[in-house]
Chains A and B, each alone.
Chain A
Amino acid sequence: MIWAKEETLSRKEIQQIQLNRLKEQVEWAYTRVQPYREKMDAVGVRPEHIQSLNDLKLLPFTKKQDFRDHYPFGLFAVEREKLKRIHASSGTTGKPTVVGYTAADMDNWTENVSRIAVMGGATAADMVQICFGYGMFTGALGLHAGLENIGATVAPTSSGNTKKQIMFMQDLKTTLLVATPSYALHIAEVARSMGIDPQKDLHVRIGLFGGEGMTEAMRDEMHRLWGPDMKVTQNYGMSELNGPGVSGECLELCGMHINEDHFIAEIIDPATGEVLPEGEKGELVITCLTKKALPMLRYRTMDITRLFYEPCRCGRTTARMESLSGRTDDMLIIRGVNVFPTQIEEVLLQIPEIGPHYEIIVERIGHLDTMKIQVELADDSLFDSYAGLEALEKKIRGGLRSILGLDAEIKLLAPGSLPRFEGKAKRVTDKRKDLGLNC
């Protein structure tokens, strides 16, 4: 089933909607948001210069740094009183990225998520369990609203407490699971360890996965654990772009359909900022066409992908983006949580007993991401104190947990044992990279 007629328009019709909305949106941002006005003035671009979709490339980029420079409300186009909701995501350092929604923004967000849910096989008959953490992150409440909107029954079980999740799954006869792919795999493993076969004893037939990328290897594993007939799709979004609902896979599994009447996607060369021709791989840049509270013009997602525009076998005509193949920055996604090495560094630098060198090792053990952080002792003062070393480990772990909301394994090393770098330091080793191709 296809939720909205906008998903099957001709290319010409889509482009006409995009152009009309783009003009309106540029005008809106220019007149109401000072940082947008200043940036456009600096390059001599005015709203009336946007006469075709091709003119989009005249506009300056918006970056994560802009959120930081104008924290918390500086990029907003409406007064705080007009906002219905605030969400936030982790920033590269210190302050999070704050986003907000008008009533109309919320409706559009919900509509976009509904389309993606239906694309992945969801219907009004589904019993949904949302295993994303509820809170400032957009994932849980975004999927929540979109699934309620299509008439499904939603249980906001949130993340964690896996045995209880499984109990609800059995008792409610959950048919649709929303989670990060790695957590979904973990749930299946735990169920098996409890003597419950997810294929026979549970009723989950649809998985809508997001919050982190899903490789083809993970999809295969999902089928092995949850059954070959499970409908396993992933979807894409980020809080700066409302949250989930930017794009999602249909059951043909040939890329994620972009809700093009709400978002224009471009691919650029991350080094030069130049727009790349169709089919080339580069950084995804998104312009939001309907967001009123927090307009986003040419937002650099830092995600690397490719776009293609042929109509899909599913009947949709919207552009599709390939599974993400990496990031242009050093952001890590660990158990669905965005982690920047700079955040870790900030915590470590505040602890005098350890030196400035560190190494982050991310691995997937079983189906769960683990983060190990190797640090050097600053001097010999703790060499002879076992209690002191243990207390230090605890202090580092606690500091990281309060900033990232994640547990990390700490490994203390002797001074001078980590490699030193003359150029750019390589502080992160991500052993999870097992990328698969889609089509």
Chain B
Amino acid sequence: MKQLSIFVENKVGSLAEVTRILKEAGINLRAVASFDSPSYGILRVIVDDPEHARELLLSEKHAVKMTDVLAVELVDKPGALDGALQRLAEAGISINYVYSFVLRKEAEPLMVLHVSDMEQGRRVLQEAGLRVVDKLDS
């Protein structure tokens, strides 16, 4: 699945500026995570139309990068995430970051993962019987 990483300065309103641009274009945010240091932050988002969102943000002079992530469907019960993470650890794959989808109507939760070896990570998860989602159904 495609994710957008937006490099933002750590100052008042910088995140709101990004969400404003997406809202005005009617682009829905499916998952969002932000990591910050005292001076800058990386906002990671999954949106309905990443290509369009990327162009919009670039046209407003934002620093955006599109990257691949794994979106894994989990059953909504204790230990589900643990199961997935254990498999990856056993396969020697390290996790760079993980975050979750905001809300999914009548569907299982989705976790977003970025791992050291994306191809192998996908295989390990699929072999464990987990569904890796590549496209959002709109």
A residues within 8 Å of B by Cβ?
377, 380-381, 383-386, 389-390, 409-417
Contact = CB atoms under 8 A, between A and B. Distances in A.
Nearest to A383: B65
Interface string B39-77: 110101000000000000000011111010000000000
| Chain A interface, DSSP helix/strand/loop, else mixed | mixed
A384 B44 contact: yes
Contacts, number: 47
A383 B40 contact: no
Contacts of A381: 65
A239 to B, nearest CB: 36
A409 B42 CA distance: 19
27 contacts: A380-B63, A380-B65, A383-B7, A383-B42, A383-B63, A383-B64, A383-B65, A384-B42, A384-B65, A384-B67, A384-B114, A386-B37, A386-B97, A389-B37, A389-B40, A390-B37, A410-B39, A411-B40, A412-B39, A412-B40, A413-B9, A414-B9, A414-B61, A414-B62, A414-B63, A415-B63, A417-B9
Given A380-B63, A380-B64, A386 B42 contact: yes
B22 to A, nearest CB: 17
B91 to A, nearest CB: 21
Interface size class of B (residues with CB under 8 A): 20 to 34
Given A384-B114, A389-B42, A414-B63, 6 more contacts: A389-B37, A409-B39, A410-B39, A411-B39, A414-B8, A414-B9
A386 B96 CA distance: 9
B61 A416 contact: yes
Contacts of B6: 383
Contacts of A384: 5, 42, 44, 65, 67, 114
Nearest to A412: B40
Contacts of B44: 384
